Structure 1
Amino acid sequence: MKNRSLIFLCGLIAMPFLLSGCLYGQCINGPCALEHARIVQSIKPYGAHWVKAGMTREGRKEDFIDCGGDPVTFKAGYEIQRNQTTADYFKGLNKHTLQVHSCMRAKDYIYLEHCDPRCLYP
């Protein structure tokens, strides 16, 4: 009888952990907190993906700003305009991003899809 009570008590204690949805670091709704934090920390802004041999952070930032990139967010640097439709916004964003891309390529930068230590970020 005592063993059954102990097993029942252990089951009650274990139930919330089993029903939480987190098993082996993976939650039912997506990554658990630790995995989510790792993913968020690995995200780099658009400007950080541009690299070239011998570059410095400061030199890349100057080149990126010269090409139309945003100096604060290190993004492509295009904002929605007043009374602009969604379609026009994305058309303008794509055009501006292509201009930034062409300018950076003209300055001998290459775009890395996945940042590595060459990104020198932050």
Structure 2
Amino acid sequence: MTQNTQRHPFLDDLNEDVTLVSSVLRGELTGRDQVLKVVKAAGGLYRSQTPTFLGHADDRMFFQYEADLGNGLTASGMVSIIRDDNGGVSRLHIAFSPLGAVLSIAEGLKATVSDDLDADLFL
């Protein structure tokens, strides 16, 4: 996966009650449709995405990548994907760094999805 037009393979496996925790959110977000909306909107903020690590440990998958935000900032992203016994994704934890990139992504998400989600959810 090198471009934001490609799909994260775990998105098709999200449970209806999946929970998202992220460094760009003030709290948890629950529900397949809402989580998809945020993940897709975040991916839309990337000019490009370059994977740097993919691995598994028990029921978790870890995906690390670098994203060019197109505004002079680069974000390092780490996604922890937790699957239930049926293989569905029950929890996502998506962390970004450095802080400037975190704030840029949060601002972009707030501008993009605040009509559908509470703007106070984002930093």
Structure 1 length normalisation: TM-score? 0.31
The structure in which a higher percent of residues are strand is 2
Higher-Rg structure is: 1
The structure in which a higher percent of residues are helix is 1
